[in-house]
Structure 1
C-alpha cells in the first residue's frame, strides 16, 4: 500500500501532462489565432486603403473631367461668336439652352465685348433697342445700386446673358466692377487663357447655398492672339460646382471615407470648398480649419490628389472614416475558431493570402489595360494633331496663294483705272490673264477637294468620243505654254470612243497639263491619246526635271508641293488620283530625273459604233460675226461682262435677267424673223431654273442649241442638262473655255 501510494506520488506530473499539453496547445492555438487575426486585420486595412486610393483617384478624375466638360461651354460660346459674327439675342439663348443639356453644371453663359469710348454709343444704343428703356454701361456698387461708368477705356460690359437658374448679371454691367470678378478677368487678360474666380456660396445662382464659380475666356477677333491686337471680348459662364459634387460624391460614402476639397489659390480661411463625412483626424471638429495646410498636418497619411480648374489649383484630401470597428466581433470569433480549428484557421489564412494575391494580379491587369488605353489615346491624339497640322499648313498655303493673284489683280485694276491706255500693253493684259488663271486653278482644286471629301461626287458614265475634248484642252493649254516659252504638241488619234464621265476626265487631263506646264522650265509638253489592247491611254509628257523613284507615290498625297516650285496648293495630283479612283480608272507615272516625266490615264474602249464628233477648237476673235445669241443671267455684273465679251467676238447679243424677259425675246426672234443661233442660260435665275425653262422651250418646239452654265455640278443638274440636250459648263469660266464651248455647239449645229 505504501508502495502504491508512493508510486502515485512519484509521478505527480503524469496526471498534469495532458492538461499541460492541452494548455500548451490551447495557448499555441490562441496565439496563432491572434496572429492570424492580426494578419487578416492588416490585410483588410490594406485592401481598404487600396480601395480608397482607387476610389479617390477615380472620383477626382471624374470631377476634373466634369468641370472640363462644363467649361467647354465657353469654347462653344467662342465658336458661336467666331462663326456668327454679330450675335443675336434669341439665337444666343437657344444656343445656350441646347448647349447646357450636354454640359452638366452650366448655370449661365454670356458674352461681354470689349467696349471703348468709340464703341460705347453703338453698344448702349443696342441695349436701349432691346430693352425699350434708357440703358448705359454701369458698375455694381455692392449695395444693389447702379453707378454709370464715366469713361470706358477697356470695359467688358455684358451684352447677352442666358441664365438657367437665377442671376445677378444684367446687360450693360461692366463685369470687372466687382472684385470677385475683377481678379479673374485680369488673370484671363494677362495670360490669354481661361480664368476662374474663387468658388463661393451663392444665393443668386442655383439653389441656396450651392457653390458656384465664374469663369472667363478671352476671345480674339481672328480666333488666335496676335501682337498688338485688341480682344473681341470675353465669353463668361457660371457653373454650379455643388451639383457636380453631389453626383460624384454620394452621401453614402460618408460612412466609409472622409473627403475634403480645397482651393489653394484662395485665401487660407476660404480654401475649403467641400466636406463629406464625420469628424476624423484630418479635421479636428468636422468643419475644422478652413485651410488645406492645417487639414494636411492633422492627416499626414491621407491621400492627396491635385488638379486644376481653369487657372485655379484645387486639391482633394481623402482618408478612411472613423468608426469602422470590426475587432469586437472578429476577435472573439477568431479566438474561438482558433482554439478549436487551428488547421481551419491556417487554411483560411492561406486562402486569404491567395485571394490577396489574385486581387493584386487583377489590379496589375487593370493597370496594364489602363496603360494600353492611355498609349492608344496618345497615339490617336498624335495622329489627329498631325492631320490638323497638315490641314492648317494647307490652309495657310492656300490663303497665301489666293492672296497673291488677288493682290496682283487689285494693283492691275488700280493701274487700269488711273491709266486706261495701259490696256493696249500686251504684257499688262498677259499679267491680268495669268492672275485670273491662277485664281481659277486654285478655286477648281478647292472645289474638287470639297466634293471628294464630302462624298458627293457621283460619276455619270457614258459613251463619248474623247478626241474633241483633248483637242479643246490642248488649245487651252497652248496659250499658257506660249506665255511660258514652251512648245505644246498635241497628237490625238481620231474617233476614240470611251466609257467614262467626260467632265471628270476633263478635270483629270487639265490637272495633268497644268502640272506639266508648271514644272517644265524649258523645252516642250505633249498631249497624246492612243488605242491599246481594248483601252485608250491619254498621256501627258514633258521635258521637265523628272521625279525620283522614292517620290513617285508621295506626289499623289494631298498638300505636297515641290520645294523649288512653291506655287499651287499641292492638290492637283491628289485630285487626279481620287477622281480616277472614283471612275475605276488607273493612273500610271514613269519618269527619269533630268529627262522628264510621263503621266498616263487609261480608259476602257466603248463597245459598238463610235460617235462622229468633230474636234472642238477655240474660235478666234470675230469668229462669231453674224451670229445672234441670247444670254440669260440674273446677275447684272455677270450679264454685262459676258455680253461685252460676246460682242467683242462679233456676235449680236440679246440679254435677259429672268425667264419672262427671255421668253419674250425668244418669241420675238421666232420665224419668220431669224431666230437665235445659240442660247447661253444660267441655271439659277432667282426662283426659276434655267434647265426647267429650257425644257419648256423644247416642249414648245424650240430646237435652238443651248449651253447651261452653273457653279454646281450635281448629278441631278447633269441629268437635267442631258435631258435638255445642252452641255453643262461649270463656273468660273475663262474666256477660252467659253469660246471653245460656243464654237463646239455651233459646229455641231452646222453638222446637223
Structure 2
C-alpha cells in the first residue's frame, strides 16, 4: 500500500506539471510587464554597447570644442591686448606732444618777462640786442617781439603787457596811448551785461595796455583787470612768489569759443635793477599775460599727427580724482553731429 501511495503522488505531480506547462501565457498587465522587462533588458545591453562604441568620438568632440573655445578666448585677449597697447602708445604720444606744446607757450611768457626785467636783454638766439628791445619799453617794441614769435605759438589768442598804474598816473598813460595812435583809448571795465564802461576810480589799475595781435582783440585793449575779482586775485598771488601762474580766463565780452576753455598765463615783471630778496622791492612793475585758447593749442597740436579719421579726442584735467573736468574736445574728421559725452566709468578707466 505504501508503494501504491508513493506511485500515485508521483503521477499527480507529473499531471500538475503538465497542466501547468499547458497554461496560456499571462494576459493584460502580466503580459505587459513581461514584455517590458524583456525589452528593457535587451535595449539596455544594446544601448550600452553602442555608447561604448561612440564614447571615444564624443570625448574627442568635447575636447575639440573646449580647445577651440580656449583658443578663441586666448586669441581675443591677445588681440585686445595688442590693440590696447597700440592705443596706449599713440595716446602717450599725444600726451607728450600736448605737454611740450603747453610748456612752449609758458616759456614764451617767461621769455617776455625775462627780457622786460633784464637791463641787457638778449634775443632767443642769445645775440645781444639794443636796449630798446625790452618788450615793455614801448608799444612798438612789444609789437615786434610778439609779431616775430606768435606765429610759432598757435595757442595764443593774444600776448599782453599789464602795468600797475596808480590812479594818479591814469591820465598820463591814456595820453601816451593816444600819442601811439590809439585815439579814444581809455581804462575800461565790462559790466555783467557785457557793456563797456569807463573803469571806476581805484587805488591801482591793471589795464591791458599792450596787446598783440590787435585785430580781434580791440575790445580788450585798455580793459582794467583789477575790475575782475578772480583775475585781480590771481595777479596778486604772483606778487608773493614771483612765479608764473595759470588761471581760467573767461572773455568778459561774453564770447564763447568753439571747443573748451581759455587760460590766462600771468608772469610778474620786476624792475630791471631790483635785486631778488631786497627789502626795497614792494611789488612788480606789471605783468606779462598770455591768453591761451585750448581749442587752438590742442587742436593744432593734434592735427600734426596722422590721427585716424574716425577718432574723437576728449581731454580731461586730472585733479587727483577730485573732479575730472572736460577741458577740450577735438572731433574726428568724419564727425558730423555733436560728440557724445563719455560715460563716467570710461573717464575713470582713462585715469586708472
Identify the TM-score tier after normalising by the shorter chain: 0.5 to 0.7
User: What's the TM-score, normalizing by structure 1?
Assistant: 0.33
Given that 1:141 and 1:147 are in contact with CA atoms closer than 8 Å, whether structure 2 keeps it comes out as no
Greater share of strand residues, 1 or 2? 1
Structure 2 vs 1, CA of residues 302 and 259 (structure 1 numbering), >3 Å: closer, same or farther?
A: farther
Q: 1:144 aligns with which of 161, 171, 195?
A: 195
Report SS of the residue matched to 1:303: helix
1:444 alignment partner in structure 2: none
User: What's the TM-score, normalizing by structure 2?
Assistant: 0.65
Structure 2 vs 1, CA of residues 150 and 174 (structure 1 numbering), >3 Å: closer, same or farther?
A: same
Structure 2 vs 1, CA of residues 209 and 198 (structure 1 numbering), >3 Å: closer, same or farther?
A: same
1:29 alignment partner in structure 2: 64
2:78 alignment partner in structure 1: 43
2:336 alignment partner in structure 1: none
Shift of 1:33: 0.9
Does residue 211 of structure 1 match 2:264?
A: no
Shift of 1:146: 1.5
Q: Return 5+ residue gaps in structure 2 as ranges.
A: 1-43, 122-132, 333-338
Structure 2 vs 1, CA of residues 276 and 33 (structure 1 numbering), >3 Å: closer, same or farther?
A: farther
Aligned length: 283
Q: Distance in 2 between matches of 1:57 and 1:121?
A: 52
Given that 2:262 and 2:292 are in contact with CA atoms closer than 8 Å, whether structure 1 keeps it comes out as yes
Does residue 234 of structure 1 match 2:287?
A: yes
Report SS of the residue matched to 2:295: helix
Q: Which has the higher contact order (CA 8 A, sep 6+)?
A: 2
Does residue 261 of structure 1 match 2:316?
A: yes
Q: 2:297 aligns with which of 222, 244, 259?
A: 244
Structure 2 vs 1, CA of residues 16 and 165 (structure 1 numbering), >3 Å: closer, same or farther?
A: farther
Q: Distance in 2 between matches of 1:22 and 1:211?
A: 67
1:324-353 Cα offsets, whole Å, 9 max, x none, are xxxxxxxxxxxxxxxxxxxxxxxxxxxxxx
Report SS of the residue matched to 1:214: strand
Report SS of the residue matched to 2:153: coil
1:74 alignment partner in structure 2: 109
Structure 2 vs 1, CA of residues 199 and 23 (structure 1 numbering), >3 Å: closer, same or farther?
A: farther
1:620-640 Cα offsets, whole Å, 9 max, x none, are xxxxxxxxxxxxxxxxxxxxx
**Structure 1 residues 148-159: aligned runs within 5 Å:** 148-151=199-202, 153-159=203-209
1:60 alignment partner in structure 2: 95
Report SS of the residue matched to 2:152: coil
2:248 alignment partner in structure 1: 198
1:101 alignment partner in structure 2: 151
Higher mean alpha-carbon deviation, 238-247 vs 17-26, is at 17-26
Given that 1:111 and 1:158 are in contact with CA atoms closer than 8 Å, whether structure 2 keeps it comes out as yes
Does residue 287 of structure 1 match 2:341?
A: yes
Given that 1:109 and 1:163 are in contact with CA atoms closer than 8 Å, whether structure 2 keeps it comes out as yes
Given that 1:212 and 1:239 are in contact with CA atoms closer than 8 Å, whether structure 2 keeps it comes out as yes
Q: Distance in 2 between matches of 1:157 and 1:35?
A: 70
Does residue 303 of structure 1 match 2:338?
A: no
Shift of 1:264: 4.4
Structure 2 vs 1, CA of residues 167 and 131 (structure 1 numbering), >3 Å: closer, same or farther?
A: same
Shift of 1:42: 2.1
Structure 2 vs 1, CA of residues 232 and 109 (structure 1 numbering), >3 Å: closer, same or farther?
A: same
1:699-728 Cα offsets, whole Å, 9 max, x none, are xxxxxxxxxxxxxxxxxxxxxxxxxxxxxx
Structure 2 vs 1, CA of residues 106 and 133 (structure 1 numbering), >3 Å: closer, same or farther?
A: closer
Q: Say which one has the larger Rg.
A: 2
Q: Distance in 1 between matches of 2:309 and 2:348?
A: 18
1:175 alignment partner in structure 2: 225
Given that 2:154 and 2:297 are in contact with CA atoms closer than 8 Å, whether structure 1 keeps it comes out as yes
Q: Distance in 2 between matches of 1:57 and 1:102?
A: 23
1:447-499 Cα offsets, whole Å, 9 max, x none, are xxxxxxxxxxxxxxxxxxxxxxxxxxxxxxxxxxxxxxxxxxxxxxxxxxxxx
Structure 2 vs 1, CA of residues 145 and 61 (structure 1 numbering), >3 Å: closer, same or farther?
A: same
Shift of 1:162: 0.8
Structure 2 vs 1, CA of residues 160 and 263 (structure 1 numbering), >3 Å: closer, same or farther?
A: farther
Given that 1:260 and 1:273 are in contact with CA atoms closer than 8 Å, whether structure 2 keeps it comes out as yes
Q: Distance in 2 between matches of 1:264 and 1:300?
A: 13
Given that 1:184 and 1:215 are in contact with CA atoms closer than 8 Å, whether structure 2 keeps it comes out as no
Given that 1:165 and 1:206 are in contact with CA atoms closer than 8 Å, whether structure 2 keeps it comes out as no
Report SS of the residue matched to 1:27: helix
Structure 2 vs 1, CA of residues 108 and 257 (structure 1 numbering), >3 Å: closer, same or farther?
A: closer
Q: Distance in 1 between matches of 2:184 and 2:219?
A: 17
1:594-616 Cα offsets, whole Å, 9 max, x none, are xxxxxxxxxxxxxxxxxxxxxxx
Report SS of the residue matched to 1:158: coil
Q: Return 5+ residue gaps in structure 1 as ranges.
A: 1-8, 279-284, 290-294, 305-316, 318-752
Q: Distance in 1 between matches of 2:158 and 2:92?
A: 29
Q: 1:87 aligns with which of 137, 142, 153?
A: 137
1:228-286 Cα offsets, whole Å, 9 max, x none, are 41312100111121123224556966957874413749x96x942124689xxxxxx94
Q: Distance in 1 between matches of 2:164 and 2:262?
A: 25
Q: Distance in 1 between matches of 2:53 and 2:75?
A: 32
**Structure 1 residues 374-523: aligned runs within 5 Å:** none
**Structure 1 residues 614-629: aligned runs within 5 Å:** none
